[in-house]
Amino acid sequence: MKKEVYIGTYSNDENSGIFRLNVNTKTGEMDGLTQITKTLNPSYIVMNKEKKLVYSVLKDGDDGGVCASEITNNTVIPFSKILSGGHLPCYINIDKNKSFLFSANYGTGVIKIYSLGEKGELTGITAERDHNDLGLGKTHPHYIGLTPDEKYLFVVDLGLDMIILYNYSEGKLGEIFQKVLFKKGCGPRHMVFDNDGKYAYLITEYSTEIVTMRYSEAEGLEITDYISALGDGFDNEGDGSAIRLSGDGTRLFSSSRKPGTVSMFEINKETKKPVLLDTLESGGEHPRDINIDEDGKILMVRQYRNALERYTLEIPAGALDEEGEPGFKCAARELEEETGYKSEELEWLITLRTTVAFCNEKIEVYVAKNLIPSKQHLDEDEFIDLKAYSLDELKEKIFTGEIEDAKTVASLMAYAVKYEA
């Protein structure tokens, strides 16, 4: 199965721009590296997959800002940008509803919030703050994002050795809620929250450490632990760069530029602290960022169907709550109710008309990616058994007759055509 991967770059020559790469998720082989747009130093990008948009850092002469581009066929076409008066962002992020874009400017210490229109276009700047005005020293914001409950905007400031939490609401910033101070000179860089939103993990650039923090809406962030991000044989001056959490929340990954390594940790279920499993060479030089591909298995439900008087194996599904409810909202709700997982990445796959000869029933099918553990919400008399299968296993079950449900057969075959290599 192949996936398209989009990559930002950090270069001032003709190779600067956004590239696309095909990755075979079964073998790890990569091919088709193609420069699909030329922009200067789009070092970080963020996607809106539903609208097929990519947002990137933008450099335009001596000015900088952010840019929105549309993904069409074999290229990316910029269609909206906002320059920010000399402030060149080094990192951008987006909220869950894809309504606001957040940028951190390492060089000048400024953070900004941009509003997004119905088509995903940049429509204006709704808030900004200059960390120089804090009077705390040389500021270098390197990461920005919202807490899982979206109560606060947090800024990881590498220069100040600090995380600053601002009160946040719908693109607007309030007063500073909290300042979290780290060890002097460690250089906090990037961070990630766990799936429950109760713990966060941060990598430091200068000391190359992983910092564990506890989070609550009332108290904000509290540092609970520091550990080395590198295994034996490496010193702690490794230029820590990126940190990621696996979809199931059990594994933590970090990268370090100077030794060119990637480390893997197991998250202790009781203490929530990471335990180093291994540090490996990345296969390249100065890994600036990393990402994770999950195992690609498909979650299926087994439930009793009265009409057939037997159990069937199907994709999760359910009915609209009311006429006119958007299909993706129904899909998100039914996914969580039946499987106990949720997803922030729902992508339309196909629309089915089940029996056009005598009924107008319509079924919209979505692919839910990067599942996040949540909780099932079943009726008292409802029982659903969950199991994950590879696509090859499910195709075999179709052709042996074990899977007969029409929507499931059509959806799986459409998925195979669209995503399988």
- Residue 127 belongs to domain with CATH number: 2.130.10.10
Q: Which amino acid is at 30?
A: M
Residue 222: what pLDDT? 98
d(CA 49, CA 334): 21
Residue 398 parent element (H or E) = helix 391-399
Q: Clarify whether residues 127 and 190 are in a common domain.
A: no
Element (H, E) at 393: helix 391-399
Clarify whether residues 223 and 176 are in a common domain.
no
Last residue of a domain, one of 152, 181, 210: 181
Mark whether 30 and 173 lie in a shared domain.
yes
297 vs 303: CA distance, rounded Å = 19
Q: Is there a contact between 11 and 41 (Cβ–Cβ < 8 Å)?
A: yes
Alpha-carbon radius of gyration of the chain: 23
Same domain, 139 and 151: yes
* Closest CA relative to residue 104, chosen from 163, 137, 145: 145
Residue from 370, 303, 310, 377 nearest 340 by CA: 377
Helix (H, G, I), strand (E, B) or coil at 79: strand
SS3 205: coil
| Same domain? 34 vs 177 | yes
Residue 21 sits in the same domain as residue 162: yes
Q: Which helix (H) or strand (E) holds 169?
A: strand 162-169
Q: What is the pLDDT of residue 74?
A: 75
Query: pTM for this one?
Result: 0.79
Domain that holds residue 75: 1-181
43 plus 72 within the same structural domain: yes
User: How many degrees, rounded to 5, is the angle at CA 116 between CA 111 and CA 117?
Assistant: 160
Q: What is the CATH number of the domain that holds 351?
A: 3.90.79.10
Mark whether 307 and 413 lie in a shared domain.
yes
Q: Are 346 and 368 in contact (CB under 8 A)?
A: yes
Residues 282 and 308 in one domain: no
> Which of 293, 314, 342 is at the close of a domain?
293
Do 284 and 323 have their domain in common? no
- Which position has the token pair 């993904």? 71
Say yes or no: 244 and 342 in one domain. no
Task: Report the residue count for the chain.
Answer: 421
The total of other beta-carbon atoms located within 10 Å of residue 67's CB is 25
- Contact of 370 with 359, CB cutoff 8 Å: no
Pair (4, 153) in one structural domain: yes
Q: What is the pLDDT of residue 41?
A: 82
- Out of 250, 272, 293, a domain closes at 293
CA 179 – CA 318 distance, rounded (Å): 45
Active site residue 294: no
Identify whether the C-beta of residue 123 lies closer than 8 Å to the C-beta of residue 371: no
How do the pLDDT tens digits run along the chain, 421 residues long? 677 888 988 877 777 889 999 888 777 788 988 888 887 788 899 988 778 899 999 877 677 889 999 988 778 888 999 987 766 788 999 998 899 999 999 988 999 999 999 999 999 999 999 999 999 999 999 999 999 999 999 999 999 999 999 999 999 999 999 999 999 999 999 999 998 899 999 999 999 999 999 999 999 999 999 999 998 777 667 799 999 998 778 899 999 998 899 999 999 989 999 999 999 888 888 898 988 876 678 889 998 888 998 999 999 999 999 988 999 999 999 999 888 888 888 889 999 998 999 999 999 999 998 787 777 877 766 678 888 888 889 999 999 999 999 999 999 999 988 876 5
Six-digit token pair at 244?
Answer: 């990621």
Locate 173 and state its tokens.
């910033």
User: Domain count of the chain?
Assistant: 3
State the Cα torsion 83-88-91-97 to the nearest 10°: -10
How much is the pLDDT for 236? 67
Q: Residues 334, 380, 382, 404: which is the catalytic one?
A: 380
